[in-house]
Amino acid sequence: MGNLFSGIKKFFINKTTVTLFGVVLGVVVLVGFYMYRVNNAVNPKEVIVATRDITATEEITADDVKKVKISSSFLTNSDIITNANLIVGKYVATGTSIPKGGMFYSSQLVEKEELPNSIFDEIPDKYTIYQLKVNNTSTYANSIFPGDKIDLWMKANQDGKIVIGQFITSIEVLAVRDAQGENVFDVTSGKTPAWLLFAVPTSTYRYLKVSEYISGMEITPVPRNKQYTIEDGETEITNQDLLNLIKNQIKDMGVVYE
């Protein structure tokens, strides 16, 4: 037994043996590290992909998504969504689409109310969308927001005199758009307001629309405080004199207004 241990001891203290052992150990470590890197790179991960081509403004349903496994090396973009619960029920943003088999990116998905035309789905019966031309100044440095209740004031000329008065009260702003029709308050926009959109009774829409063609007549938005919005008063024309002024101006222009 002593001779056995003595032989083993000599084997391990032999310089050639130690060198060979070190080389082998180094190779094993390198191979192990390489295999770890390879396995980590190709380690399959589950992602969500589209089962069909999904175009802009479409809602994504459970039938539109499925799970597949891909190499983790393809998941270097943190914008990729891997949870179906964060996809189903969302809408594809305007200006983009998702091809069949394509992955979903958070920058491509929006809530319904973020779609430019979603406000048209909520228009009450016998109401019409009216858009008022504005700019950064008339919106008080872009301080009028969707959901605000504001008033509309009118300025007009009557017998050479300027008439200014409140025309419509408690009108809700549905959207604020730029000159290209995009949402001004999109976090990536930094855009300048060009239009305020409202839903008004069709009869009111007619008066607002014809006022655009009367020389010297201007409609100006006037914001109110938060309580005014919360109280949610009825949208109505409150100045009969200004309404009559519009009617008279239309008659003088030779236009029949019904």
**For 24-78, what is the HEC assignment?**
HHHHHHHHHHHHHHHHHHHCEEEEEEECCCECCCCECCHHHEEEEEEEHHHCCCC
The rounded distance, in Å, linking the Cα atoms of 56 and 113 is 14
pTM: 0.59
Give 56's pLDDT tier (boundaries 50, 70, 90).
confident
Q: What's the average model confidence in pLDDT over 204-217?
A: 87
pLDDT score recorded for residue 88 = 92
pLDDT score recorded for residue 239 = 84
Does the structure show a pLDDT above 60 at 255?
A: no
Q: What percent of the chain has pLDDT over 90?
A: 20
The rounded distance, in Å, linking the Cα atoms of 93 and 108 is 5
Which residue ranges make up each domain of the chain? 2-42, 44-114, 118-252
pLDDT score recorded for residue 212 = 87
Q: What does the mean pLDDT of the chain come to?
A: 79
pLDDT score recorded for residue 32 = 56
Lowest mean pLDDT among 34-48, 57-71, 146-160: 34-48
Lowest mean pLDDT among 111-120, 148-157, 230-239: 111-120
5-38: pLDDT as tens digits: 555 555 455 556 555 555 555 555 565 555 555 4
More confident residue, 222 or 16: 222
Give the CB-side neighbour count of residue 107, counting CA atoms within 13 A. 8
Does the structure show a pLDDT above 60 at 204?
A: yes
Lowest mean pLDDT among 78-92, 123-137, 215-229, 236-250: 236-250
224 to 58, 111, 156: CA distances (angstroms): 36, 28, 22
* Cβ–Cβ < 8 Å for 144, 195: no
- Smallest CA-to-CA distance from 52 within 101, 110, 8 is with 101
pLDDT score recorded for residue 160 = 80
For 240, the 3-state DSSP assignment is helix
Does the structure show a pLDDT above 70 at 1?
A: no
pLDDT score recorded for residue 23 = 54
145-203: pLDDT as tens digits: 988 999 999 998 877 888 899 999 888 898 898 888 888 876 555 688 999 999 888 88
For 96, the 3-state DSSP assignment is coil
129-150: pLDDT as tens digits: 899 999 999 999 999 998 899 9
- Smallest CA-to-CA distance from 197 within 112, 113, 95, 120 is with 120
pLDDT score recorded for residue 130 = 93
Question: Does domain 44-114 sit in CATH 3.90.1210.10?
Answer: yes
